[in-house]
Amino acid sequence: MFVEFEMERLQSLYENEVKYNLSDSGNHPLSMNDLLSEEEISRILNMEIYYGYTTGDPRLLSAIASWYPEKINEGNILVTNGSAEANFLIGWTLLEPDDEVVMVLPNYMQVPGLAKNLGAKVKTIHLKESLGWHLDLDELASMVNEKTKLISICNPSNPTGAVMADEEMQSIAEIAEKHGAYIHSDEVYRGSELDGKETKSFVHFYDKSIISCGLSKSFAHPGLRIGWLVASPDIIQNIWTRKDYTTLCASVISQEIGTKIMTEPTRNDILGRSSKMLTENLVLFQSWIDSHKEIFTFVPPKAGGMAFVGYNMDINSTEFVHKLRVEQSVLIVPGDCYGMDGYLRFGIGANQDYLSEGLELVSACIKSLGY
């Protein structure tokens, strides 16, 4: 049976139909006028809309490579249509029926669903709220063996916002290396750390890492649909042969804008904006949580435009989300999408007034339940 991507379907059905979409986990985007000069806009308006480079415009590849260690160059990168295509291509390239995948949950649920649809055997290990949404590394070590083809993580974490320390990443790399497994690290929230201290990419720690990333979250421009993969050149070449069967290339206009975003000083400006917005919005969100402290448990995120909240109301998470959507025109993500009923994911990357107004309506929904 084909595994449906529940969270993506929920969002695609309703995120544009509600007044307050708090299901997004990215930051509020800039406009073209905010991002580009008149000269840059004029150049785009005069561009010929051709296919472009299938692996990515060389200027964009160079700009992306500069965000990674010196050993990473243009040959280590493949530009994709969003990180969703990047994740898909990793699974399609690496996973054969009956391959074993160790999946860290909760996670962006595209990858576990994809692995199952490709016939892989998925073993799951959960981040622990009691550990601040970190892994029990001894438990991970006990799960990985010679049959393990891939360990899949999300760092910084979706939906918890937890960020691994260097020592944790080094330990995971050593576990993978012991058994020759690949590590897939979804790093779309890297750069949006609230304390401004940017976490390292897994390519710092392990040569068999495959990184998926893109402009949708920390870089706040999801509509450009620019993602990328970072891996060894031989893996990139292997994945490229699959990409010839998918989207061929990303939009040349999006790549032009993406090159500006990933080039200094714009890159640091956008990431600094993201961290500042999220830090300020977390104060607002924490105040709202405190007003319902008898209902919620909450480990504040260290990165990313989301907050993962446990609750003790007597209602299923999906039921609550649809009640909230229908009665208050607010959309959030139920814990059911992560296989974790009793939790809710709130997007906190919106403009403050929008976030505050949406949360007031969530409070009204909670009150209607008698809490």
Range of the domain at 66: 49-266
| Sequential DSSP letters for 160-214 | T-----HHHHHHHHHHHHHHT-EEEEE-TTTT-BTTS-PPPPGGGT-TTEEEEEE
Q: Helices 317-328 & 352-368, crossing angle to 10 degrees? A: 110
Q: Residue 252 above 90 pLDDT?
A: yes
Does the pLDDT of residue 134 top 90, yes or no? Answer: yes
41 in a domain, yes or no?
no
The answer to whether residues 259 and 272 belong to one domain is no
Note the pLDDT of residue 251: 96
Mean pLDDT of the chain: 96
Q: Residue 56 has what pLDDT?
A: 98
**305-338 pLDDT per residue, tens:** 999 999 999 999 999 999 999 999 999 999 999 9
Domain identity same for 88 and 227: yes
* 31's tokens: 């406009």
- pLDDT tier for residue 90 given thresholds of 50, 70 and 90: very high
CA 103 to chain CA centroid, nearest Å: 15
Domain final residue, candidates 266, 284, 301 = 266
pLDDT tens digits along 198-246? 999 999 999 999 999 999 999 999 999 999 999 999 999 999 999 999 9
Query: Residue 202 in contact with residue 185, Cβ under 8 Å?
Result: yes
* Predicted pLDDT of residue 322: 97
> How far is Cα 40 from Cα 256, in angstroms, rounded to an integer?
9
- Provide the residue count of the chain: 371
Whether residue 36 lies inside any domain: the answer is: no
pLDDT given for residue 89 in this prediction: 98
Average of pLDDT values for 339-362? 97
pLDDT at 103: 96
Q: 35-87: per-residue pLDDT in tens?
A: 999 999 999 999 999 999 999 999 999 999 999 999 999 999 999 999 999 99
Which CATH number fits the domain that encloses residue 19? 3.90.1150.10
Q: Are residues 167 and 76 in the same domain?
A: yes
Asked, for residue 35, whether it belongs to a domain, the answer is no
In 3D space, the residue among 244, 216, 311, 214 whose CA is nearest the CA of residue 11 turns out to be 216
Predicted structure pTM score = 0.95
Summarize the confidence of residues 118-143 as an average pLDDT.
96
pLDDT of 124 above 90:
yes
Based on the fold, state whether residues 283 and 244 are members of the same structural domain.
Answer: no
CA distances from 213 to 31, 48, 123, 282 (A): 21, 27, 24, 24
Q: What angle is formed at CA 252 by the lines to CA 250 and CA 257, rounded to 5 degrees? A: 100
- Contacts of residue 12, defined as CB under 8 A and 6 or more positions apart, other chains included, come to none
Confidence band, pLDDT 50/70/90 cuts, at residue 180: very high
Q: Are 201 and 211 in contact (CB under 8 A)?
A: yes
Q: Are 240 and 341 part of one and the same domain?
A: no
Round to whole Å and give the CA distance between 231 and 202.
10
In the chain, the number of structural domains is 2
pLDDT on residue 1: 83
pLDDT at 266: 97
Give the whole-angstrom CA distance, residue 16 versus residue 20: 9
pLDDT for the residue 299:
97
> Can you give the pLDDT at residue 276?
94
Least Cα distance to 67 among 188, 168, 194 occurs for: 188
284-288 contacts at long range (C-beta below 8 A, 24 or more positions apart): 284/348, 284/352, 284/355, 284/356, 284/359, 285/346, 285/348, 285/355, 285/359, 288/359, 288/363
DSSP H helices, the chain, are: 6-14, 32-35, 38-45, 58-65, 82-94, 110-117, 137-143, 166-179, 233-243, 252-262, 266-290, 317-328, 352-368
DSSP SS3 for 103: strand
125 & 238 share domain: yes
What b/e sequence results for 183-216 when a residue is b if at least 16 CB atoms lie within 10 Å of its CB, and e otherwise? bbbbbbbbbbbbeeebbbbbbbbbebbbbbbbbb
Domain check: are 243 and 103 in the same one? yes
Judge if 178 and 129 occupy the same domain.
Answer: yes
Q: What is the pLDDT of residue 108?
A: 93
Question: Measured between alpha carbons, how far is 56 from 255 in angstroms, rounded to an integer?
Answer: 8
Helix (H) or strand (E) holding 16: none
